[in-house]
Amino acid sequence: MYKLSVLILIASISGIFSLAASADSSNTFNRMLKPQAPANLPPAEDGLHDPDNAGTHMLQPPKEAFNGLVKAKWGNKVDWIKSINTKKISPRHNASDAAPKPIIMNLNIVRQVKGSMPDVVFPHDRHTLLLACSNCHTGIFIPQKGANQMSMAAIMLGESCGKCHGAVAFPITTSTCKLCHSKPKAKNAVLKRSVAGN
């Protein structure tokens, strides 16, 4: 027992030294990468709710609610659309009545984008699953081809798609670009355009 504890002591001391040595080295793994922030913390630890408030401790911890939902790498770490489509959750379409179901509109809008990014496909189906037409038309988007100017900069500042995407719907991160930019351009299309001077 005594020998074991000495061994553990020596192992832990050498462990501390090796850690110190690796932190000292210029060639640490993932040198500039920020450590990942912990996700889905209980309200009292999330830095937004007041832990001195009694009501804070009555709130459901997100982890408890998200248990069993389809996971994602972004936002709440939940893929909300897949969670609905796989019946993990069934959100109501009416405040007081569970019966009404949304009317799904099946129409994809393709937006040709400048540069080399794949074109954007806007799927009406999953948007009408959650929203009413009046939420977007005509306040945010004019329902007419070519009538809506948008840019990633404006979206990131909370305009057009950014009204929701970046606030509550999936955010704009390096792992979400291709959720919208999902239609690859025809082969050589980018090259042809740049040759033509467009």
Partner 1 sequence: MVIKQKLLGLGVILISLFTMLAPMKANAEYGDIVINNFADAAEMRPAVFPHWFHRIRFNCSVCHADLGFKFGAGKNEITMAKIIEGEFCGACHNGEIAWSIENCDVCHSGIPGTPTQVKGSPLRASNIAAPK
Residues that bind partner 1 (CB under 8 A): 23-24, 34-35, 37-41, 43, 45-50, 53-56, 58-60, 62, 65-66, 74-76, 78, 80, 89, 91-96, 102, 129-132, 134-135, 156-159, 162-164, 166-168, 171-172
What are φ and ψ of residue 190, in 5° steps?
-65, -45
Q: Between residues 1 and 37, which has the closer beta carbon with respect to partner 1?
A: 37
CA-CA distance, 173 to 176, in Å (whole number)?
5
Task: Return the DSSP state at 165.
Answer: B
For residue 143, give both structure tokens: 């329902």
Which residue's structure tokens are 């740049």? 194
Q: Between residues 23 and 195, which has the closer beta carbon with respect to partner 1?
A: 23
Q: Nearest approach, Cβ of 181 to partner 1 (angstroms)?
A: 18
Q: Nearest approach, Cβ of 140 to partner 1 (angstroms)?
A: 8
CA-CA distance, 30 to 154, in Å (whole number)?
32
Q: Between residues 13 and 104, which has the closer beta carbon with respect to partner 1?
A: 104
DSSP E strand boundaries for 3-47? none
Q: Between residues 40 and 182, which has the closer beta carbon with respect to partner 1?
A: 40
